């Protein structure tokens, strides 16, 4: 870091995080004004971003568990609800997802014990055109709408977390299919750019450039067709 800090005058904090409780209250009352606050979020993010081989295995197991829970329970449950035209509230379905994780070894990969897994956050289910793409969002009491369904969930294994977000569309129209296919293309491009040592900004810029080029050709094609129609 380039910052020159005087020892004893500063306290490191995670600027965006907010905590509560007696310890935090007592700290703020007695000590907070005696120090200058310094945001250490970026420094700790860099420190913990590098994982060793054992940690990578734990992360992979967390991811594998999340994928199995989704494919073996969540997806099948939503398909069943749609096929049978059931009226199920978002909150009720997410409660079922939470419970399913602890049904023995049913939705766990080999070598993963149910005693060491838990949800990273309550599953989030949204449909009906009302979407808030934040991990702080909670599933509401609205009934599952058979249109575009978004499910967000994640499993923690031995303190290592994973998260999964999926979009399920019931009888999508052609426009929805085209947009979704385009987004998958962008996603695949990003995956090819995620190479160790590549700055995140380069990955972002590659995705933006690809989108801009595609939009240019779409607009050019649209204008060309329009001109032809009016000739």
pLDDT class for 128, splitting at 50, 70, 90?
very high
Taking the C-alpha atoms of residue 117 and residue 101, their distance in angstroms, rounded to an integer, is 8
pLDDT at 227: 45
Please tell me what DSSP assigns to residue 73.
I
pLDDT in tens, 83-118: 999 999 999 999 999 999 998 788 999 989 889 999
What residues contact residue 36 under an 8 Å CB cut-off, 6+ apart?
9, 10, 11
Average pLDDT, the chain: 87
3-class DSSP state of 21: coil
Q: How many CB atoms lie within 10 A of CB 218?
A: 12
pLDDT at 220: 65
The second-level CATH assignment, the architecture, of 51-171 is Alpha-Beta Complex (3.90)
The pairing of beta strand 148-153 with beta strand 155-157: unpaired
Both structure tokens of 154: 């994640």
Please tell me what DSSP assigns to residue 101.
T
Q: How many CB atoms lie within 10 A of CB 17?
A: 7
Q: How far is CA 48 from CA 14, 42, 43, 57, 196, in A?
A: 14, 10, 9, 16, 16
pLDDT in tens, 157-186: 999 999 999 999 999 999 899 889 999 999
What is the percentage of the chain residues whose pLDDT exceeds 70? 91
Does pLDDT of 231 surpass 80?
Answer: no
Answer yes or no: are the C-beta atoms of 146 and 87 closer than 8 Å: no
64: left (phi over 0), alpha (psi -120 to 50) or beta: alpha
* 31-45, 68-82, 94-108: range with lowest mean pLDDT: 31-45
pTM of the complete model: 0.74
Tell me, rounded to whole angstroms, the distance of Cα 47 from its chain centroid: 22
């Amino acid at each position: 870091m380039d910052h020159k800090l005087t020892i004893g005058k500063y306290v490191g904090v995670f600027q965006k995080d907010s905590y509560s409780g007696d310890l935090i209250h007592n700290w703020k009352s007695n000590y907070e004004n005696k120090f200058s606050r310094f945001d250490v979020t970026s420094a700790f993010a860099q420190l913990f971003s590098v994982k060793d081989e054992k940690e990578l295995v734990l992360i992979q197991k967390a991811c594998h568990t999340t994928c199995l829970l989704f494919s073996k329970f969540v997806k099948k449950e939503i398909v069943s609800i749609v096929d049978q035209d059931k009226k199920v509230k978002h909150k009720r379905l997410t409660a079922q997802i939470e419970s399913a994780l602890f049904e023995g070894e049913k939705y766990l990969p080999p070598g993963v014990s149910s005693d060491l897994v838990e949800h990273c956050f309550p599953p989030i289910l949204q449909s009906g055109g009302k979407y808030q793409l934040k991990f702080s969002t909670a599933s509401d009491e609205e009934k599952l709408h058979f249109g575009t369904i978004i499910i967000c969930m994640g499993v923690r294994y031995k303190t290592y977390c994973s998260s999964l977000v999926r979009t399920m569309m019931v009888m999508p129209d052609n426009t929805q299919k085209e947009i979704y296919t385009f987004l998958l293309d962008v996603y695949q491009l990003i995956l090819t750019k995620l190479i160790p040592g590549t700055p995140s900004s380069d990955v972002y810029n590659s995705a933006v450039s690809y989108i801009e080029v595609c939009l240019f050709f779409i607009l050019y094609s649209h204008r060309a067709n329009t001109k032809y129609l009016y000739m």
